[in-house]
Each structure stands twice: as structure tokens, then as C-alpha cells.
Amino acid sequence: MEKNSTNIQILIKRLKNGERLSPEEMRVVAHHMAQLQFEKKQHEKRMQAAAHSSDKPKGPSFHEQVAKAEAEAKKNRLRNNLEKHSAKHAAREDAELYGRVHAVNERNKPSFHEQVAKAEADAAKRDKSIKKRAKEEKKLLKEERKAMLNGDRTGFSLKRDLRHPAAFVKRIFTKPNPYYTPGADAFVVVAGKKIKNKARTLSIKYTIRNLVVMMVAMILMFSIYAATVIAFAPKIDPNKIYDQISTNSVIYDDNGTRIDSVSSGESRTIIKYKDIPKHTVDAFVALEDKTFWKHHGFNWKRMIGAIASSFGRGNIRGTSTLTQQLARNVYLPNIKSQRSARRKILEMYYASKIEHTLSKKEIFAAYVNSIYFGYGNYGIENASKTYFSKDVSQLTLKESAALAAMPQSPDTYALIQNADSPVASQSTSTPIKIDGKSYIANDISKPRRQIALKLMADQGYITRAEYEENAASNLADFLNPSLNAGRETDTSYFTDYMVEQIIKDLMKKYKLDYQSAHDMVYNGGLKIYSTMDSKAQKAVEAGFKEGNYFPSLTGLKKDSAGNIVSDKGVITLYAYNNMLQDGKFKLADGEYKKNNDGSLTIYKNKRLNIYKTSTANGSDYSLEFKPSYVVENGSLYIIPGGFINIPTESKTLDKNGNLKISAKFIKKNSKLITSDDGAPTFTDKLYTLQDKVIQPQGAMVITEVGTGKVKAMIGGRGVSGKKLFNRAVNARQPGSSIKPLAIYSASLQRSYELAESGQPFPLTDPGNDKQGTKYYGDYLTASSVIVDEPIKFNGKVWPKNSNNRYSGPMTMRRGMQTSTNVVAVKLYEQLGSDYSASMVEKYGISTLNKTPNGDLNPASLALGGLSKGVSPYEMAEAYATFPNGGVRVENRVYTKVVDRDGRTILSTEKKQHKVLDEGVAYIMVTMLKSVVNGGTGTNAAISGVEVGGKTGTTDAKYDVWFDGITPKYAASLWIGTDVNIPLTSSSVAAARLWSRIMSNVPNVRKGSYKPAPSNIVRKNGEYFTKGTEGGLGKSPLDESEESEIIEEEQEVTEQDQNDNNNQAAQNNQAQQPQQGQQPNNSGNNGSGNPAGG
């Protein structure tokens, strides 16, 4: 290599000195100079590239080195071939070439480069082999440059191309120029041709190729993306498309009349295609999708046209067919407003599946059932009833066009707007009255309605005359709104309770979780057939609206601040003004502490309650107002409380149970928690108050005898809405209304059982009275004589009667008539707590507390002071046992539930439980009737029907009851306050209201009581079950003057009665260990001593 370099240098030196070189030597020199010039230019290019590209590799890659080595090898081979060919012609050309060089030297001494170039050109003209070599060298040079360029900037680089998009686009339409020489003139000569000296030149071939490649790549990428989207998309079954549509469930009464509906917000009624008039179908198709009957889910022509027209608008609109809109509404509700490729892919995929599964008629019906028509109307059936007060099948042409115009913008185009709606335009609005209230007939959609009619005419659905006749109509001319469809009942106590029962039954039968069962009811479009008698329900609701039937409140005790307090001085209700001033709640001294870190600690047991609650995300702490009250128009209203809305993450509970509100929340919400004279103050935007509730309250349940079907239910008065507090299924102390269950029927049933087995009743002497075991007879019967006299427990007299006197001997029947407490307690002592409690449970009372300190005592079982109370719902079921021959039938509020496909998914059957012998039940019916005919329940009488029942009043008249029967119905009514405030009246008020309501219930006067069964024996004017009529006792019934019927119930006892309960229990237990535990304080539930009655 070094020798060759030295020889070339010598040749160049000889040439500069004017010596004559041989042709071969001239070729070597020329080639060497060309190579030097090429390498110099390449070096300059690399330097320029390195200066402009930070990611230029520091050295050639392996492939570049290989390419360069191959290029060098080729050049060497070509050089050898050149030398061989040059030798053949050396002799012939020597003289001529020498002469030309000498002539050049003699003329102004041409430069070295000119000599080389001229010599090279002359040699190329004379020798074809030289031309071939030049061509090969050109090709080699092109390949070398291409290899170098490929290793430089022509490859794809996402980072570089995103940074320089213009350069990327330029490469798409051009190709690299292999003859580009940086720094040279604007044109270069290659093989005798003059070409532009640019790095890249335009190439049609490159352009077509690159565009095709890009298109294929984009299609491939889109296909992969679409496949991925579809692969991860939720699977659908169009055959069950209505399972995806939120559909309200309809509730029917016992006559099959729609009375209510429940939904999660989207209330709709599903109809079938056959119920839709043809002109209604035509109106939607003409306006929304004129090729609906022909396409297979997509209108490609319409999509391409929309895409073409979108270039001026920036997005694509109006391409969806009815099938695509259905797919979007049903399966993509959460992203249907997005304009994204993913949504469009899913929409087309789901539309394709729908088209391949459902018929066109099924698709159209599903579409109009699913869409929103404004003003809270989902589905065309609800919209038709709301706007035109008719079923879809009755829609006219103009009404159909009006509905077809709405889906594009349902809230704006809603045919009814509130009077203060900002949507309505004055030029298109007409004031109207609906049920005495002002609304607006909103005709803003009239132009679109006219377009629908015009398209119907253009597409041949209607004639031109029909178009002209209907297009000119104003909305107010044919709008006939109805805003009360399906809202026949004022309250939802019955339906709310029924729905919860159905949810529980679905969970049990189909092993569902609560949310799944809830969704089935609220979104599943079920048909629920209730047991409700609509007329009976209305009678109950009407009775509860008559405030004069409810007693007043009395005995209110207040502290100096006006708060209502208990007998012990504990605040039960805060005065409203002591809680809120001008809508603000100001924390008082001692209720809070400001911490150094800016947080706020709320102390427990003050005016705010602190509760630990469970949520789906774990535990939370609830900060709530304690109950307060306000007096309006002479009536007391309770505000049950309210919720202070602080996020979970902003609350903590300290070790003392106090609530700490974070400093971050306080600082961020300075308008919610302000400061008043330095005290933290909650504004009305931070809390939510519950609705005020009038006092006293009430509840009532009516059930049908023999079927258990609940015919009416109400759980409160003065309030309306959904999810209300239902007092009908919440327990209160029953007072003396428990006596027929726990004492009187239990005594007769126990005697019947013993007589059947041939055993006498095991009477015992409790040792706390004078009667002992006398006068009862061999069995406890309606004619058994019980002496109303003082009884001592622990040396103290208990119980006492309300009139503070005793009536002497009386029969069991008279004792129940007059609700004499002593009679009930004495019978309890003979029965024992276990048998009495077992009978109460047989009647279906689920709240009995049988723990050691629970209800196994006379205060609870004989006088009704049950620690957990009992609900009107269960009391109605229990009392229905008597006229049903001693058989208890479980209450039920629905008969069947049918899904949208007509399948019955739930049904209820009559569940019966034998409680009493039929003869015992018959005697109990006669005794209950005697209470109404000549006892404490005379106010419950109804003309035209024999009524039986039992009154009940608790201590201080906190609770008053009447539980009554007729041949057809049993009904339980409770009146009381939510926080134990005394009433001005005893159970007389309850009996009077019971009579008022039941007298308006249809069929109450129909039917008759069961006749006396074969085991009934009548003796001395009294009824007995066979075997119990003997041994009635030798002592004559000698009642004193005080044994006359007591008009005011002997239910309420003195406070000292309760003080004697424990002592009475101890004495009674010591004397009768087999009878179990006796009275104690636990049965009073904080309300004082339970009364008789």
C-alpha cells in the first residue's frame, strides 16, 4: 500500500514538472485524483450530518463495514481489469497521447486537473471498455451512496418523523438522488446527462408505492385495533336486548288495574311492533333512516357522503342508522355522546349483531322503546301518554311526526316545559294549564316536524294533501298532556314494602346478591301483581288525612331553653331555633375544639350524633343533627334529623369517639364552614335536613281473613314520596292488645289441650292474693271467675287499674271486655311465661325477646310492655287467626311476578300454621265481639257488620291501638308519637279512627263468621270446648257495683307499679318456680310502665 502511494506521488511530481507520462501512468493518476476528491466530499457530508444529528452513530455499523469492504473489493477488481485493457493499447496510443500532452503544455501550460480531465475524456471516447468501466463505477458509486444514506437519515424513526413531519412527508413523494454532491453547482453531469444536484428527487413510482404501503399499513393497524376493541368488548345477546334497557316495573292491584310503577330513573313501558301505527313507523323511518328496510345495519353511501361533507365542519355527523342508534342507546349508554373511533367500532359491531339476530320489526320496536322523548319520558308509550294522553296505537299522523322529531334533541324539543324553563322560546311557546298549574306548550320542534312530514310525502308514505293538512298545525292545537299517569296512590308504603319483599324472594330463589335482585325489579320491566285493594288503600289514606281523628299532644315538659325533655330532664327534642339560626348551625362552647393544625374536633353526645357506618368502600363516620321540633298552626312537627355532608377522607374518629374534621377540608371549603364570633358555623350548603313530620303519627294494616293477602297499608301521615319511614312494619309497645294472644286465647287453648288428654288444669296458688285457686273451675274458660283484687309482689301492690280501685269477682270474658290488668296478670300466673310466650310466637310475633332479662314476665306478656314491641303488620296477621278458625295464614303482599317475556318468576302460596283449636278460636271471636259490643272497644263498631277487637294503651298514653276483626278482614291500627310524647286520648281515638276507615272499605260488610264447630258446648249462657264445661266452681258470681262496664279503659297504671315489677317477679318466682321469670323493668323500653287495656 505504501509503495503504491509513493509511486503515485512520483507520477504527480513528474507531471507537474512537465514530463510526458505514458497513458497507463496517466490513468493511474486520474483515478487517484478522482478518488481523493470523492473521499473529501464524503468526509464533508459526514461532518455536516454529525453537526445536525445528535443520534448519529459514532462509528460505522457492522453492515456498513461489510458494504464498504465489498465496494473496495469491486473497485480493486475493476482497477485490475483497467490495467489489463490499457496494456493492450499502450503502443498504439503512446505517440498520439504524448503529442497532445506536449501541445497542451506548450499552450499557456494548462493546469494539472485540466490535463487529467482531458486525458480521461479522450481515453473514454476511444475505448469501449473504459465506458463499461465508467458505467460499473457509476453503479458502484450509486450503491455505495445508497448504503451510506440508508445508514443515515432515510430509515423510519418514529421520534424523528414526529418531530419533523414535513421531512417525513417529503420522503414519501421523493427518492434519494445517488448523484447528489453537496457543495457542487445546481446541476451535475452524469453519463452525459445534466441533472439537478438535490438530495432527493420527485418519483411517481416512489409516491405510488409509498402511498399503497401506507394505506395497507393503516388498514392493517386499524384492523388490529378494531379486532382488539371487539375482542375486549362486552358480549351481547340481541335476543335479550330488553334486559339491557332500563324498564320500569308495573304494579297492579288485586283487580289487575295498574296502580304504580318502580324504576331506577328511566321509567318506560315496553310495547310490541304490532301496537305501533304504520304512519308512526313511517315518520321515524322517513326522518331518521330512509333505507332502514333495505340496509344490513349500515348505510355506506350515507357514511361516505357524511365524511366528505365533514371536511368543512371538522367532524362526522348524521351517519348512524336506526340500528346503530339502537346499539348506541342500549349497549353504549355511557359513551354514546363520544365521537371516537372506539365508539364507532363498537356501534357498528353491535349493530351488525343486532341485524343478524333480530328482524327489522323487532329492531324498530326496540328502538322506539329505548329512546328518550324529553320531560322524563323514556320509550314511546310513556311519551304518548304524557303528551297526548293516549296509547301509541291511537296516535295520529301529526302526533307521530311530533314524536319522531324529538330524539335528535329531546330536552330542547320536549313538547311540555315548565313555565320558568330557560329552554322555551317566547316565539314558539304557548302557556297552558295542567291540573291547575302553569306549563308551556313548546313548539320549537315544529320545523323538524314539518321536515318529517315532507320527507314522508317525498318518499311516498303520505299524499301531498295529507302533508299540507298536517304541516300547518300548531302544537297547542293537538297537545293533550297528562302528568299523572301511573301515579294513582298518594303514598308508597305498600309498594315500597312489597318491592323489598320481592327483592328478598328473588335473592333466595335465584341465589342473587341484593344489587342484582334490585336491578331486576327496578330495571327489568316486570309485572307485579299485588294483593292491594285500591279502594281499601284509598280509604286508609283518606282516613289518615282527617286530622281531627288524631288525638292532641299533652304533658310536654320543656327546659328553660324551650327544648322538650323527658321525666328525667334529658332532652328528647331540641327547639328548632336552638339548632339553626338563619339556616346556620353554630357550634356552642363545649361542643368543639379547634386544633393547632387547623382541624376541628366535634365532641360526641352534644347536639350532633356521631355514628360509625359501613359502606361499599369500608367504614365511614356519619355526623348528624339530633331531632328537633317546631310548632306550626298549633301542630307539633318533628324534624327527625339531618346529615352534615363531609367526605369520608376528611373525617377521622379519635380514641374518645369524637369526630375530627381535617384542616384541608376546612380550608378548602371556607364558604361551607365559616366563623361566627370565633365559633365554627355550618352553612346550609353543608348539611341536609330531613322533612318535618307532623305528630302524632299512625300506621295501619288490613289483611284478608283466610288468604293472608294484605289489602292496604299505611305507615305514616302528612308525608308523601318514596322510601318513607314505614311505621306499619316497625314495632311499638302493644299495651293490652297483646292480651288476647298471650293470655286469653292461651288460657283457653291450654285448657282444651289438657281436657283432650283427660287432665285437669294444674292450678297453683301464687300466694300473693286472697283468691288462690278458688273460682277458676277445673279449667280456665270464658266463665272462669277471677277476683279483681290487690296483688302483692315483694310486699308492694302491683298491678293497679287505671281507676285506682278493684271490681271484685268477674269472669274471664268480662275481664277482657274491661281490659282489667289484675285479671290478665292472674291468668298469666296460672299459665306460666313459657306457654304464654310460645303462644305469642305461634301467632307470628317475631319481636319477642326470650332472653333472661327480656319479655318472659307479666309486665311484658300480660300487660304488653314488650321490650322490642310489635308491628301493626304482625298484629293484623295474628288477629286474622281468630276468624279463620285458629289457623294463622302468613301475610303476603303480592301473588305473582311476571317478567317481560311473560314468564312467572315468582309466585306466593298460602302458608298456614295451626295455632288454636277451631272451638277455641270460635270462643275468642265471641269474646272479641263482646269487647266492641259492651267493653272498651265500643267506638270501633260499624253498622251492618259485627266487629270484634281489642284496645291497647301504653303508659302515659304514648301508644294507643285497636286491633279488630270482621268476617272478611283483620286490621291493626296504631297511633303514637315518634319520640314518646303523651297523647290526650287513650285507645278510644284509635277505635274511632279504625271504625271510620273500615266502614269505607269495600266488602267489609260481606261474609260471615265461621259457625260454631262440633266441639262447642253452650252452658249457662257461655261457650266451652267439649270437656272443659264441667267443674265451674261452687262460688256464685257476685260482682260489686264497681264491676259495671268501665268506659275508660283500665290500662294505664301508676308509676309505682313499675317499681314493684322486680319484687313481684322475685315473689312470684319463689312461689312458682315452674312458671319462669316474672316482671322486670326491661320490658318497658324506656317508656315507663306498660298499661293494661
DSSP string of 340-408, one letter each residue = -HHHHHHHHHHHHHHHHHS-HHHHHHHHHHHSB-STT-BSHHHHHHHHHSS-GGG--HHHHHHHHTSTT
Among 429-443, 554-568, 675-689, 1014-1028, the minimum mean pLDDT is found in 429-443
- Stretch 551-562: mean pLDDT: 93
DSSP string of 1015-1058, one letter each residue = TEEEETTEEEETTSSS---SS-----GGGSPPSS-S----HHHH
Asked if pLDDT for residue 538 goes beyond 80, the answer is: yes
Give Cα separations from 405 to 322, 394, 415, 417 (angstroms): 14, 18, 10, 16
DSSP string of 541-579, one letter each residue = HHHHT-GGGS--B---EE-TTS-EE-TTS-EEEEEHHHH
Asked if pLDDT for residue 313 goes beyond 50, the answer is: no
For residue range 637-667, what is the model confidence (pLDDT) as tens digits?
A: 999 998 898 988 999 999 999 999 999 999 9
Asked if pLDDT for residue 1086 goes beyond 60, the answer is: no
Cell numbers 277482657 correspond to what residue? 816
Confidence at residue 1064, expressed as pLDDT on a 0 to 100 scale: 38
Percent of the chain with pLDDT strictly greater than 90? 52
Choose from 197-211, 290-304, 1004-1018 the range with maximum mean pLDDT: 1004-1018
Count of Cβ atoms closer than 10 Å to residue 805 Cβ: 13
- As a 3-state breakdown, the chain gives helix, strand, coil percent values, each rounded to 5, of 45, 20, 40
Asked if pLDDT for residue 1075 goes beyond 50, the answer is: no
DSSP string of 754-813, one letter each residue = HHHTT--------SSSS-TTTTS-SS--TT-EEEE---EETTEE----TTS---EEEEHH
Asked if pLDDT for residue 62 goes beyond 90, the answer is: no
Run of H or E including 698: strand 697-704
Per-residue pLDDT band at 130 (split at 50, 70, 90)? low
For residues 25-61, b (16+ Cβ closer than 10 Å) or e, as one string? bbbbbbbbbeeeeeeeeeeebeeeeeeeeeeeeeeee
Asked if pLDDT for residue 16 goes beyond 60, the answer is: yes
Confidence at residue 676, expressed as pLDDT on a 0 to 100 scale: 93
Count of residues for the chain? 1093
Asked if pLDDT for residue 945 goes beyond 50, the answer is: yes
Asked if pLDDT for residue 1052 goes beyond 80, the answer is: no
CA torsion through residues 995, 999, 1000, 1002, sign? positive
Per-residue pLDDT band at 426 (split at 50, 70, 90)? low
Evaluate if pTM is beyond 0.85. no
- Cα 495 to Cα 482: distance, rounded to the nearest angstrom: 23
CA torsion through residues 132, 138, 142, 144, sign? positive
- Stretch 448-471: mean pLDDT: 94
For residue range 147-181, what is the model confidence (pLDDT) as tens digits?
A: 445 544 455 565 666 666 776 676 667 777 777 77
Q: What is the residue-averaged pLDDT of the chain?
A: 82
Structural contact between residues 704 and 971, judged by C-beta atoms closer than 8 angstroms: no
Cell of 536: 281499601
- Stretch 731-749: mean pLDDT: 97
Q: Which residue has the higher pLDDT, 582 or 804?
A: 582
Per-residue pLDDT band at 589 (split at 50, 70, 90)? very high
Question: Across-strand partners of 989?
Answer: none
Per-residue pLDDT band at 830 (split at 50, 70, 90)? very high
Strand (E) positions, 915-986? 948-953, 959-965, 969-976
Per-residue pLDDT band at 678 (split at 50, 70, 90)? very high
Q: Which residue has the higher pLDDT, 994 or 1042?
A: 994
**β pairing state of 571-575 and 628-632:** parallel
Tell me how far the alpha carbon of residue 855 is from its chain's centroid: 41
- Cα 345 to Cα 329: distance, rounded to the nearest angstrom: 15
- Stretch 113-134: mean pLDDT: 61
Confidence at residue 52, expressed as pLDDT on a 0 to 100 scale: 57
For residue range 243-285, what is the model confidence (pLDDT) as tens digits?
A: 778 778 899 999 999 998 888 777 788 899 999 999 999 999 9
- Stretch 7-28: mean pLDDT: 72
Q: Is 618 helix (H, G, I), strand (E, B) or coil?
A: strand
Give Cα separations from 159 to 164, 171, 449, 702, 950 (angstroms): 9, 16, 54, 79, 90
Cell of 267: 321509567
Per-residue pLDDT band at 334 (split at 50, 70, 90)? low
Confidence at residue 350, expressed as pLDDT on a 0 to 100 scale: 85
Structural contact between residues 629 and 563, judged by C-beta atoms closer than 8 angstroms: no
For residue range 493-520, what is the model confidence (pLDDT) as tens digits?
A: 999 999 999 999 999 999 998 888 988 8
- Stretch 757-776: mean pLDDT: 94
Asked if pLDDT for residue 753 goes beyond 80, the answer is: yes
- Stretch 325-354: mean pLDDT: 78
Closest residue by Cα to residue 787 from 766, 763, 816, 807: 807
Confidence at residue 56, expressed as pLDDT on a 0 to 100 scale: 44
Q: Is 1088 helix (H, G, I), strand (E, B) or coil?
A: coil
- Cα 1088 to Cα 980: distance, rounded to the nearest angstrom: 10
- Stretch 905-934: mean pLDDT: 97
Confidence at residue 1054, expressed as pLDDT on a 0 to 100 scale: 34
- Stretch 725-731: mean pLDDT: 96
Asked if pLDDT for residue 140 goes beyond 90, the answer is: no
Q: Which residue has the higher pLDDT, 770 or 231?
A: 770
Per-residue pLDDT band at 65 (split at 50, 70, 90)? low
Give Cα separations from 765 to 309, 643, 762, 827, 857 (angstroms): 103, 57, 10, 12, 18
Structural domains for the chain: 2-153 (no CATH), 156-228 (no CATH), 268-478 (1.10.3810.10), 557-693 (no CATH), 701-1084 (3.40.710.10)
Asked if pLDDT for residue 89 goes beyond 60, the answer is: no
Confidence at residue 469, expressed as pLDDT on a 0 to 100 scale: 92
Count of Cβ atoms closer than 10 Å to residue 799 Cβ: 29
Cell of 862: 300480660
Per-residue pLDDT band at 855 (split at 50, 70, 90)? very high
Confidence at residue 1023, expressed as pLDDT on a 0 to 100 scale: 97
- Cα 45 to Cα 558: distance, rounded to the nearest angstrom: 101
Asked if pLDDT for residue 1073 goes beyond 50, the answer is: no
Closest residue by Cα to residue 574 from 513, 633, 624: 624
For residue range 949-970, what is the model confidence (pLDDT) as tens digits?
A: 999 999 889 999 999 999 999 9
Asked if pLDDT for residue 449 goes beyond 50, the answer is: yes
Asked if pLDDT for residue 1000 goes beyond 70, the answer is: yes
Q: Which residue has the higher pLDDT, 50 or 224?
A: 224
Confidence at residue 706, expressed as pLDDT on a 0 to 100 scale: 97
Confidence at residue 965, expressed as pLDDT on a 0 to 100 scale: 98
Cell numbers 262460688 correspond to what residue? 1035
> CB pairs under 8 A, 24+ apart, for 3-10?
8/32
Asked if pLDDT for residue 1057 goes beyond 60, the answer is: no
Neighbouring residues of 355: CB distance < 8 A, sequence distance ≥ 6: 296, 297, 323, 363
Q: Which residue has the higher pLDDT, 76 or 878?
A: 878
Among 81-90, 719-728, 739-748, 889-898, the minimum mean pLDDT is found in 81-90
Residue type, 981: I
- Computed on alpha carbons and rounded to an integer, the radius of gyration of the chain in Å comes to 50
Asked if pLDDT for residue 616 goes beyond 70, the answer is: no
Among 198-207, 249-258, 368-377, 382-391, the minimum mean pLDDT is found in 198-207
Among 708-712, 928-932, 937-941, 1055-1059, the minimum mean pLDDT is found in 1055-1059
- Cα 424 to Cα 428: distance, rounded to the nearest angstrom: 7
Confidence at residue 424, expressed as pLDDT on a 0 to 100 scale: 60
Confidence at residue 34, expressed as pLDDT on a 0 to 100 scale: 74
Confidence at residue 253, expressed as pLDDT on a 0 to 100 scale: 95
Confidence at residue 486, expressed as pLDDT on a 0 to 100 scale: 43
- Stretch 756-775: mean pLDDT: 94
Run of H or E including 651: strand 651-653
- Stretch 900-909: mean pLDDT: 92
Per-residue pLDDT band at 438 (split at 50, 70, 90)? confident
Among 347-351, 362-366, 444-448, 967-971, the minimum mean pLDDT is found in 347-351
Structural contact between residues 657 and 610, judged by C-beta atoms closer than 8 angstroms: yes
Confidence at residue 244, expressed as pLDDT on a 0 to 100 scale: 77
Cell of 1022: 257461655
Q: Is 716 helix (H, G, I), strand (E, B) or coil?
A: coil
Q: Which residue has the higher pLDDT, 688 or 909?
A: 909
Confidence at residue 683, expressed as pLDDT on a 0 to 100 scale: 94
Residue 512 class from Cβ within 10 Å (0-12 exposed, 13-18 middle, 19+ buried)? middle
- Stretch 576-591: mean pLDDT: 95
Choose from 93-97, 109-113, 330-334, 357-361 the range with maximum mean pLDDT: 357-361
